[in-house]
Chain A
Amino acid sequence: MSLFLIAALPFLGAVFPALLIRAGRNAAASAAGLTTFLALMGLLIHSPAVLRGEVIAARFDWMPGLGLNANFMLDGLGFLFALLILGIGLLIILYARFYLSREDPMGQFYTYLLLFQGAMVGIVLSDNILLLLIFWELTSLSSFLLIGYWKHLPEGRQGARMALAVTGGGGLAMIAGMLILGNIVGSYDLSVILQNKELIQSSPHYMPALILILLGCFTKSAQFPFHFWLPHAMAAPTPVSAYLHSATMVKAGLFLMARMWPVLAGTDAWFYIVATTGLVTMLLGAVIALFKDDLKALLAFSTVSHLGLVTMLLGFGTKFAAVAAMFHIINHATFKAALFMTAGIVDHETGTRDVKRLGGLRHLMPITFTIGTIAALSMAGLPPLNGFLSKEMMLEETVHTTWLNSHCLVPGLAVLAAVFSAAYSFRFVSHVFLGPQRDDYPAKPHDPPVGLWLAPAFLVILVVLIGLYSAAIVGPLVAVVSSAVIGGEKLPYYSLKLWHGFTPALYMSVVATLGGLFLLALHRRGEQIWNALPRPEAKVIFEAIINAFTRLSRLITDELHNGVLSRYAVIFVTFTVGLGYYAYSTGTIGIETRVPLPAQIIPIIGWICLVGATLGIMWFHRNRLLSLVLIGVVGLIVSIAFNYLSAPDLALTQISVEVVTMILLLLSLNFLPTETPWDSAPARRWRDAAISVVAGIGSGALIYAIMMRDFAFPTISDFHLANSYKGGGGTNVVNVILVDFRGFDTFGEIIVLGIAALIIYALTESVLSTNVRGYLLNRKPHWPQSGDAHPLMMVVVTRVMMPIALMVGAYIFFRGHNQPGGGFIAGLIVAIAYLMQYMASGYTWAIERQRFYYHGTIGWGVLIAAATGLGAWFNERPFLTSDFGYINWPPLEEFEWATAMLFDTGVFLAVLGAVMLALDSLSRFAWQPGMAQEFPMDINPLRDDPPEEEEKEQV
């Protein structure tokens, strides 16, 4: 199976549980399980090749300009992790089906789980560090959803937020580190980076890159001092904890350290940072775990400790340590997932996971007891279980490690950690299962249904088998994984077996086991001492830091964003003008190369009208109706100017938009105050006037400078002019650009227009459903109302004009490809034709006779435009490629048919629908009861003349 498919399967599958949950929980779980199973099978198909040491690759150039390629590779290391992620994922899916209760939304759970799984698989299969970073951040996001799955629990929400802040923050640091690394090597492909050890380690940027990448790894893998998020993430449902903290999320950091091991490891910096952090984490996690009463917290800190162990081994930088690290990852995943599931079962069946309230469960829950005990003893490192093997290898390696000339520091601390590790493992068994049976369990304990214990039982069998026959079962895998980690060099000598003779490691193991038993016996005393010790509480510190940041950002936001819009505008304008002045005073400006066009008398008259109207608006803007009239003058002059300056399409558009805008503003003025009161002091007005005059001079001077010079670079317009007829089949270049060359822009614009209209509709709906409606019904009009709401002359004229206007619209539409016109203008003209009916005969009258809905019109417009664009795909062309031909139907003249015209139909419908929906919504504000009884100009002898007082203002 292609690596693309393996990585994509969980994401594709994530859709199904959310949909299938309506068919029941089994359907959702099966869909999730089946997807994972398929991906797992796809992976296993590659296993013979991978075990032979081959590297499977799948490459796809995604954004080559950025160096971001969707390259995947599968080597031993990726194979091991993908196997853990998918294999344990499958077990978790089974377990979760029986663990989650009826109230939990299970569809959501599986969807989140598969998203997370996909992100994890993506990390381990990526052969491009940018791609890896994308998946890395995806794991942070999807784990946030999983940890916070029980949204009703505050601990769940806080834990999820903390995990996101810590791991996401570390991820950001890692992005920087990876970019530095890619910059050093000159490629973002892992396979290239891994070949360049000398280049990277001799670079002056090695240290910053190393620290930043390690920050990402340490936060993800919960290394000291970032370990605190992991225990808080235990608020998640147990299947999530079992998955995230045994096999996946926290192993991502280890994976990355292992992946980068060939190029980053081997320096002193690497050894002292990584090995020391790992050692401290291992010891600290083990000590804290011993004193946790919550089963999951105990396991959480033990996970922290084991992650520290692996980190330390990777930090040693020797080949043998790398082998031990890989082997321990396998072992830890098996026994820790089983232990989490056991803890979940205990919690599920007894109603508590507080160790202090448990004990004596061995006879009540024999199956759980067996599973839990074997897994815990493996965690303690007892033979013949798999945990013993890798712990021996770890201890063996510490003996050969010197830390700052000290030979016994590392082995000593490692043994101490092992003592505590054995102690908490024994405690898990003895305080939960051994001891006297109690009679105060919150629920009556019994073994769970098979669905719950099957998954951990399977893992425990692996624990035993790997322990007994390690070389046969995982030997080849460990060999190929380790050789991938150490960069394909020769493997060191090691042997996976239980008995190595009387080695130092064996004595250390014996000490650890006996010490563990001793500590367990003294647990009560130890706990008293532990509780008396002052300890920093990570959560309090974390929250204090977060709160400080929140206060800071709120302070800044409140200062900058205080809701005074006019202040924002002042700042924006002055800043822009200042920038413009800076550019002008520091830059150079070329000489004028164009000869100005002579100004004839008519343009001068137009200019006087426009400037006069504009100044009039400024002067009289308090009188709102008058300023609307003057704005109409400005709009008219602008459209005439467009026409004069060789832009007939713009002139047509501007004048029709002008009409609908005027109607819109007049309608709204109907409900707003007619006068603007004075409410700024004269000083402020002078300041505003000064700002605006400077800005006006700036923009005028800028455009003058542009107009007097030729293009600085060759223009692409010549291409459009040359290809408009040849390639687009139309002679109106502006229209061909709109529907063909830049059709995608136009497509976006009609969507925007449609959304704007829908916003207006939604606003109207929400406002009219409040007490505003009552106010509108009782309001007094601003001006005296006309005695005749629907003047006879106007009604007659508009009805006669309706078909003519529609015909003009059709004409403008059809000629648009070759002559000025097109869908935009036709849409506006037809909208005006309808609006005339609204105005003359009344809104209610027009609505009653209308046979289509505006929402649908917008929708059809966008769909038709999209369908036209998609049609190109069927001819193996890119989206929105247009085609055209000529049709000759005698006796008609030859005429042209272009797919662009279909696209233009979409534009037409969207514009028509959007304009009408906007004005229609506004018109509904004016609705008054009793309007429907009026019959403008309907000659009906049976009708009584409406009484005088019912005549209401009409739209």
Chain B
Amino acid sequence: MEALVASAVGVLTAAGIFLILRRRTFPVILGLSLITYAVNVFLFATGRLALNAPAVLNKYEEVPYTDPLPQALVLTAIVISFGMTAVIVMIALSAYLSSKDDHIDMTAQDCVDAPGEDA
């Protein structure tokens, strides 16, 4: 089981990084989503794996519980990652609609055209 989770994290990370290294906005967004999965599962797994032991207290009998702390951290991370994805999507979309270009890299020409800083 551990090997399955670990290899899944590895595959998700690799795919995410590969997509982040692309040069258009949309694959980068997909790559970030994949890395989000990988990171969330990674954090979750630092609490070690357990089956049928949710951290919901049982009043009637002694049962094992899994580690609740990483779960709480990952829960907020999942929600925050939605906020992050939404912001990036909106930036990518606005940039594309404004310039009709979805490259993520600035070119030398962009740097020349950029307004000069306060000298």
Contacts and interface: CB of A to CB of B under 8 A. Distances in A.
A764 B51 CA distance: 45
Interface string B20-55: 111111110110011001101110111111111111
Contact of A767 (B56, B58, B83, B97): B97
A921 to B, nearest CB: 7
B5 to A, nearest CB: 7
B65 A733 contact: yes
A614 B15 contact: yes
B103 to A, nearest CB: 8
A732 B56 contact: yes
A566 B33 contact: no
B96 A672 contact: yes
Contact of A664 (B2, B48, B55, B85): B85
Secondary structure of the A side of the interface? helix
Interface residues of B, number: 89
A518 B82 CA distance: 82
Interface string B52-92: 11111111000001111101101110111111111101111
A668 B82 contact: no
Interface string A204-237: 0000000000000000000000000000000000
Interface string A666-686: 001101110011011000000
Contacts of A776: 97
B76 A594 contact: no
Nearest to A610: B8
Interface string B95-119: 0111000111111001100000000
A635 interface: yes
A647 B82 contact: no
A891 interface: no
Contacts of A544: none
Contacts of A775: 97
Contact of B11 (A696, A742, A763): A696
Contact of A657 (B19, B66, B79): B79
Contacts of A565: 104-106
A533 interface: no
B76 A749 contact: yes
Q: Please report whether the interface of chain B is mostly helix, strand, loop or mixed according to DSSP.
A: helix
Interface in A754-773: 756-757, 759-760, 763-764, 766-767, 770, 772
Contacts of B65: 721, 733
A734 B47 CA distance: 13
Contacts of B29: 665
A753 to B, nearest CB: 5
A489 interface: no
Interface residues of A, number: 118
B19 A618 contact: yes
A696 to B, nearest CB: 3
A672 B69 contact: no
Contact of B22 (A566, A654, A919): A566
A818 B56 contact: yes
Contact of B87 (A570, A677, A759, A820): A759
B21 A914 contact: no
Given A563-B110, A597-B1, A603-B4, A653 B78 contact: yes
Contact of A649 (B71, B91, B110): B71
B71 A734 contact: yes
Interface in A629-658: 631, 634-635, 638, 641-642, 644-650, 653-654, 657
A443 interface: no
A841 B41 CA distance: 36
Given A573-B17, A731-B56, A707 B68 contact: no
Contacts of A753: 79-80, 83
Contacts of B33: 631, 661
A803 B113 CA distance: 54
Contact of A700 (B9, B66, B83): B9
A681 to B, nearest CB: 11
B7 A700 contact: yes
B6 A700 contact: yes
A918 B93 CA distance: 13
A749 B4 contact: no
A703 B38 CA distance: 11
Most chain A CB neighbours (cut-off 10 Å) among B52, B83, B91:
B83
Nearest to B74: A650
Given A563-B105, A621-B30, A759-B87, A745 B76 contact: yes
Contact of A669 (B18, B26, B37): B26
B15 A704 contact: no
A911 B26 CA distance: 25
Contact of A647 (B3, B12, B23, B44): B44
A720 B21 contact: no
A45 to B, nearest CB: 49
Contacts of B82: 657, 660-661, 915
A596 B97 CA distance: 51
B46 to A, nearest CB: 6
Given A645-B50, A704-B3, A707-B49, A734 B22 contact: no
Contacts of A918: 83, 86, 90
Interface in A463-495: none
A715 B70 CA distance: 11
Contacts of B2: 596-597, 704, 707-708
Contacts of B42: 699, 703
B91 A763 contact: yes
B55 A621 contact: no
A502 B96 CA distance: 89
A617 interface: yes
Contacts of B24: 676-677, 679
Contact of A638 (B26, B41, B83): B41
Contacts of B90: 668, 759-760, 763-764, 918, 921-922
Given A646-B54, A724-B57, A737 B26 contact: no
Contact of A715 (B4, B14, B23, B69): B69
Contacts of B47: 717
Contact of A617 (B15, B52, B57, B76): B15
5 contacts: A665-B85, A692-B14, A699-B38, A922-B86, A925-B97
Interface of A: 562-567, 569-570, 573, 594, 596-599, 603-604, 607, 610-611, 614-615, 617-618, 621, 624, 627-628, 631, 634-635, 638, 641-642, 644-650, 653-654, 657, 660-661, 664-665, 668-669, 671-673, 676-677, 679-680, 688-689, 691-693, 695-701, 703-704, 706-708, 710, 715-717, 720-721, 724-725, 731-734, 737-738, 742, 745-746, 749, 752-753, 756-757, 759-760, 763-764, 766-767, 770, 772, 775-776, 818-820, 824, 828, 911, 914-915, 918-919, 921-922, 925
Given A671-B96, A824-B76, 16 more contacts: A565-B105, A566-B104, A614-B12, A641-B41, A646-B66, A668-B92, A672-B96, A692-B15, A703-B42, A704-B3, A707-B48, A708-B2, A724-B68, A818-B56, A824-B79, A918-B90
> Would you list the 4 A-B pairs with minimal beta carbon distance, nearest first?
A700-B10, A696-B14, A563-B106, A756-B83
